[in-house]
Every structure is written in structure tokens, then in C-alpha cells.
Amino acid sequence: RVAIAKAYMKEQCRGIIEKQGRALNLFWRMEMVVWQERFVQLKPSGLVYQHVKSNAEAFGREKVIEYASMETIKALLGDMLYLKCAKREYYFQLPNAQECEKWATNIVQLAQCAGYSVPGYVVMPPEAMPAPDFGEKEQEA
């Protein structure tokens, strides 16, 4: 069962998404953030990404973010996946909040299956949080 569950999680987290490139310092006053399409998938060692050709085909050397280097995994404000690693931080843009939460959950679970304790969090945007209902409590009392 575990092997089937792992294969299912890996299959769910596979495709072309945007990865934030390193920020560039322009004239020492501004930073420019570059988003690049990457083919991303989960493998037994960690998250792997590659460049994408114009025909949406992956090419080039695979770059691995190993589970062992991951310190924190977060689904931020809906559609942003954040990976804090020992040497670097990564940001990936997912199509929607559900996909982002699924990726974050699957990465945490696969890291744990590989023997690493990586905390994971889902940070919801304020508009997605249910408003507290104080009226019911007052009426019950």
C-alpha cells in the first residue's frame, strides 16, 4: 500500500509550473524578480526540476532539491509553494490554492517516508479564513 500511495503522490505532483528565479539587483536600488517555467516532479530523493522547451518538453540537466536539505515547506496565501532549504529558499507558483496545498502535503509526506522530519504549513489568505461567529455563543448563554 505504501508504494502505491507514494506513486500516487508523485504522479499528482508532476508538471510545468513557475519557479522564482534569483532576484537581480539593478543599479543597487531595485530588485527584479524573474519567474521561469520549469518541469517539476517528485522523485525518491526529492523535488526535481528542469528547463522547458517552447513545445512544453523538459530538457537539460535535472536539478534536485533533496528532502534531506528541506527545513520547511509552506503553502503560502493560496497558490505559492515555499521551500526553505539549508542553503537556499525556493518559491513555486501553482495554478490555485488546492494544487498548492496538495503539493505541500505530498512533499511533506514523501520526505517523511524517506526518513526526514520536515514541518509543513498551509498559510491561508485572510479572505479564505471563516469569520468568527460571536452571535451564536451569545444566543446560547
Per-residue pLDDT 10s for the chain (141 aa) are 889 999 999 999 999 999 998 766 766 667 778 899 999 999 999 999 999 998 889 999 999 999 999 999 999 977 999 999 999 999 999 999 999 999 999 999 999 999 999 988 877 665 554 555 555 444 444
Q: How far is CA 141 from CA 63, 131, 132, 133, 134, in A?
A: 59, 20, 17, 14, 12
Q: Cell triple for residue 5?
A: 500511495
Model pTM above 0.85: no
Q: Number of C-alpha atoms within 13 angstroms, CB side, residue 131?
A: 5
Residue pair 120/30 in contact (Cβ under 8 Å)? The answer is: no
d(CA 50, CA 23): 19
Reduce the DSSP state of residue 26 to 3 states and report it. strand
Residue pair 104/120 in contact (Cβ under 8 Å)? The answer is: yes
Question: What's the pLDDT score for residue 141?
Answer: 43
- Element (H or E) spanning 39, and its range? strand 35-43
Name the residue type at position 75: A
Residue pair 116/123 in contact (Cβ under 8 Å)? The answer is: no
Question: What's the pLDDT score for residue 78?
Answer: 75
Closest CA to 86 of 102, 66, 100: 66
